[in-house]
Structure 1
Amino acid sequence: MSEMTRQEILLESGTNEMEIIEFYLGTQPFGINVQKLREIIPYDPNAVTRLPDVHESMLGTLLLRGRTLPLIDIRKHVEARPGEEDADTRRVVLVCEFNDLTNGFLVDGVNQIHRVSWEQVQPMSVFLDQYKPRFTGSIQIDNREILILDLEHVVAEIDPEAGMAYNNAQGASAVATPETRRKKLLMLAEDSAIIRCGIQRVLKASGYEQLQVFDNGKDCCDAVKALKEKHGSDLHEVLHLVISDIEMPKMDGLTLCRQIKETMGLKNLRVIMFSSLINEQMALKCDQVGADGYVTKPQIPELVEMVDRLVFGSSEGG
């Protein structure tokens, strides 16, 4: 497959749809959001430079058009059993970009792209999520269960420094202190267990102790609706801001934002999109659904600063 154009893979604004690329590790199908995929290339073992003293899943580096990329063997990392036909010549590399990083992921083969609704994606059970946080959900297509792989978590397992600074609390800023933050109620929608817990830890350590957390967009949307029904026009005095990922089971973040701003008419309820997918085109999508801000996932300090600015920096909408 040649390099894809961004126009072909962009999520539409607030339609609750996405495209996933289905790939195989052995006989088990997996999937990732096509938005992260830049291209698919044949695997050439001779093009790989082996590195000493690296994670066992790291094959080395791959030279691609003058650029050196880390190459990760996904089958080895998730401990999937190889298929009967396991020749290197059949394997392919998924070149993916997210969190301002570009990596190559070696897989056994690809099937096709599926356009699906996030309503079809089922979150991993809480029990399984404790042990397999590498997966954020699953979807049934043609009697096949496709596991949605959390590439950010895979990269963080191999290179913890590429993960996010989840242990650094944000002290007083120009507009907020830990004491004033404690009076504000926030909601967080994030499907990745490790990211969800990390953001929760930083926000609470910074003073945002009133934090309601959801593992998908629909549950968060329902919670906002319930508060609106209870408090009506006084909602802005109760709920002050929503932070949402974009990729989530049941309802994606763009749809959640559109539901809040348009369907519920809560134009003054602040919404921040916090996602590894943020780029120029995705920022435009966030603007189209009325998001008040967007931050790419490595930038934890920037997230807290934006929350402070939106919650305390304006008298409109609380």
Structure 2
Amino acid sequence: MSKLLHSVNQRTQLAGENRLELLLFRLEDKQLYGINVFKVKKIITCPDLTAMPHRHPIALGVANTMDGPLPILDLKLAIGHGNSEQVRGKSVIVAEYNRKMQGFLVDRVEHIINIEWSDIHPPPRGVGREHYLTAISKHQDEIIEIIDVEKIIAEIMPFNEQMDAPLSEALDTALNQKAQEAGADEAQAKKSKNVLVVDDSVVARNQIKRCLEAAGFTCTLLKNGLEAYQFLENMTMEGRNPTDEYLMMISDIEMPEMDGYTLTRRVKENPDMKALYVLLHTSLSGVFNKAMVEKVGADNFLPKFDANELASAVLKLLNGETD
């Protein structure tokens, strides 16, 4: 099984090239699913589990591993397809999302494919507001469903979206100061409060939106990098400067159609957009992130999701304290 996973260095070469590697797997429903290899730490056979009191139905239990306790989640149940009929002998994909390790019980792991983000598309309309899909693709005439894992994890372990009172007060003070500096210039005052948010996960978009709106900001929400770039391009074609209307752009990295690295690089290469401040905000982990931030020209990078860290990053930008 270890041969199935490439080295981090090999996989990193795909970052910024609008490509990724998907680890394909199946559940008991036989549907083909995919997960970004960047998120996968290892694949193990499901070990013995210790039941947890008052556990969420999706949480099968905790495995004692060399890396410490590991919660094992029933992915089949999480997406509404019923309980897994068997646990022993099944595979577990150990992955890191939002700074935490989880194990996802799957029926079997297949192989890794190299694919372009442009071949990954948003879910079709009509699947409903509560669907678990974040994207779909195709491999050898089979549909690959890419699950919104952030939505699943948020249901089990909700994130704290409330920033500390001192930070909230500091943001309020900074916004008032910007408004005073703008004086009668309503456009300038509005710009300080507008944030462009780009993320394919509805859970992640709304987390950021609720956090920032509670501090007095307004958010424009977009679903992927291609949509965001076209949105900015249309602004410039109309003679509008994005930096005149938005304080910053907060973008995920993993997105269908165009990833956040490619979006950032294209924005920074466009003379009409390059001054827009870009904060990459992602559940991806690993030391490669810092190097990629510099490679594509992003202004900052922040792992998901901590309301105080996000608020602090916005506050520093308002106060002109960025690097």
TM range (shorter): 0.7 to 0.9
Aligned residue type for 2:292: K
Q: Of the candidates 293, 312, 316, which is equivalent to residue 305 of structure 1?
A: 312
Please show how residues 1-318 of structure 1 align to structure 2 within 5 Å: 1-2=1-2, 5-10=7-12, 12-26=14-28, 27-44=30-47, 47-65=48-66, 67-80=68-81, 88=87, 90-125=89-124, 127-128=126-127, 130-132=129-131, 134-160=132-158, 163-165=159-161, 170-173=168-171, 176-177=174-175, 180=178, 183-184=190-191, 185-209=194-218, 211-231=219-239, 234-264=241-271, 266-313=273-320
CA distance in 1, matches of 2:83, 2:111: 20
Q: Quote how far apart the aligned CAs of 1:230 are.
A: 2.6
Distance (Å, rounded) in 2 between the aligned partners of 1:176 and 1:15: 37
Deviates more, 1:185-194 or 1:199-208: 199-208
Structure 1 residue 139, shift from structure 2 partner: 0.8
Is 2:172–2:216's contact at 8 Å kept on the other side of the alignment? no
**C-alpha separation in 2, matches of 1:270 and 1:231:** 19
Whether the aligned pair in 1 keeps the contact of 2:163 and 2:311 (CA below 8 Å) is no
Local SS of the residue matching 2:171: coil
1:297 shift after superposition: 0.9
Length, aligned pairs only:
307
RMSD value, Cα: 2.7
Unaligned runs of 5+ in 2: 180-188
Alpha-carbon distance between aligned partners in 2 of 1:175 and 1:12, rounded to the nearest angstrom: 42
Structure 2 CA distance for aligned equivalents of residues 178 and 145 of structure 1: 50
Cα displacement (A) at 1:308: 3.0
Give the counterpart letter for 2:225 in structure 1.
G
- Is the Cα contact below 8 Å between 1:166 and 1:198 reproduced in 2? no
Q: Percent identity?
A: 29
Conserved? CA contact 1:19–1:113, under 8 Å: yes
SS in 2 for 1:313: coil
Cα deviation code 1:148-204 (max 9, x no counterpart) = 1122221221222xx241687933339722684761232111111122122112222
Q: CA separation in 2, counterparts of 1:195 and 1:69?
A: 23
Mean CA deviation greater in 234-243 or 214-223: 234-243
Q: 1:43 deviation in Å?
A: 2.0
Give the distance between the partners of 2:311 and 2:268, measured in 1 at CA: 22
The farther-off stretch of 181-190 and 266-275 is 181-190
Take 1:74 and 1:290, find their aligned partners in 2: how far apart are those partners? 36
TM-score, scaled to structure 1: 0.86
Structure 1: runs of 5 or more not aligned: none
CA 178–215 in structure 1, closer or farther in 2 if over 3 Å, else same: farther
Distance in 2, Cα, partners of 1:178 & 1:192: 31
Residue deviations 1:196-236 (CA, integer Å, cap 9, x gap):
12211222221222x2211111010111112222336x543
- Report the CA distance between 1:301 and its aligned residue: 2.2
